[in-house]
Amino acid sequence: MKLLVTGFEPFGGSLINPSELVVQTLAQATLPGIELETAVLPVAQTTGPAALIQAVRTTQSEAVLCLGEAGGRAALSVERVFVNLMDYSIADNSGNRITDQPIAVDGPAAYFATLPVRAMVEAIAAAGIPAEFSLSAGAYLCNQVSYALLHFLQTEALPIPAGFMHLPYLPQQVANSRVAHPSMSLETMVQGVTIALQIIAGTQR
């Protein structure tokens, strides 16, 4: 099965983004039964969603799992719903700060993820890795690219399962922080995402 997994470039003044590092690591991996395509998306209002949709078109993947950073979370968070709202708490990497704007003027209020989210969470947790469902992907680029992708797939009538997983901070991101943010090692994140991909592809034994 051909799967597309995407991450984001660093943003908000950070020099690293765990989702980018996970994607880069997976790009070098061999997963039996899975032909993996990868992309790192810009954290920008217009080019982020456009890059994701272009990657779907170019790779002709059969399913899509997007990854992003969610500082403060202690588990791999599989998102269930994406809302038609841009309300940035910080500017994107192009300097845009969007407030109370729809992602798609003609779109529905929300889309649900079409990946097997329950099976993903249960399999990751069964491997001893913290995993959880999430009912809020926020109102920044993580939510925006996911909503835009699902709206594109719905509009084009493309039967491609898609969804999003948020990742905690890496230890090096919080090592010198005055706030005790939770973190997770890159190795553990890669293991958890690999399990999710195996569930999506139906290759987990």
69 is catalytic: no
Residue 77's contacts (CB-CB under 8 Å, 6 or more residues apart) are: 70, 131, 132, 133, 134, 165, 166, 167
Identify whether 166 is a catalytic site residue: yes
The catalytically annotated residue of 37, 69, 142, 151 is 142
* 83 beta partners: 110
Vertex 43, ends 95 and 177: CA angle to 5°? 90
Q: Answer yes or no: 151 catalytic.
A: no
Residue from 41, 37, 59 nearest 50 by CA: 41
Strand order in the sheet with 63-69: 35-41, 2-8, 63-69, 162-167, 76-79, 131-134
From the list 35, 79, 151, 187, the catalytic residue is 79
Distance separating alpha carbons of residues 173 and 177, to the nearest angstrom = 8
Residues marked as catalytic:
79, 142, 166
